[in-house]
Amino acid sequence: MVGLVSLLVIGPERLPKVARIAGFWIGKSRSMLASVKAEIKEELHAEELRQLLKEQADLQEFHAAINETADAASSIKASLSALPEETLSDAKQPDEPK
């Protein structure tokens, strides 16, 4: 249908030249569109990588905080086990009213 209308409007003499020019510009626009798609895809991929790296850094900070807390708990446990038994039994008994 498009070919028939083109033949009637442009004429048989100029139709091959117009078809070559139209093909050239269609190919050029497809190429530009493909490059834009590729750039957008690269940018999205880079953004995903940045997000993953940020999440990994956050997880490392979280693990460091957990390890620090565990070390502090171990230190407290060690200091409590080092206390003499008398001190612990005194601490467990409530004070008598005076």
Model pLDDT for residues 5-24, shown as the tens digit of each residue? 877 788 888 888 988 999 99
Residue 23 lies inside a defined structural domain of this protein = yes
Question: What is the number of structural domains in the chain?
Answer: 1
| Residue with the larger pLDDT of the pair 86 and 17 | 17
Residue 89 lies inside a defined structural domain of this protein = no
SS3 83: coil
C-alpha closest to that of 45 among 53, 86, 33 = 53
Residue 72 lies inside a defined structural domain of this protein = yes
For 6, 12, 40, 66, 78, the CA distances from 29, given in Å and listed in that order, are 21, 26, 16, 55, 73
What digits encode the pLDDT tens for the residues 30-64? 999 999 999 999 999 999 999 999 999 999 999 99
Distance CA 55, CA 57 (A): 5
Residue 75 lies inside a defined structural domain of this protein = yes
Provide the domain limits for residue 20: 2-80
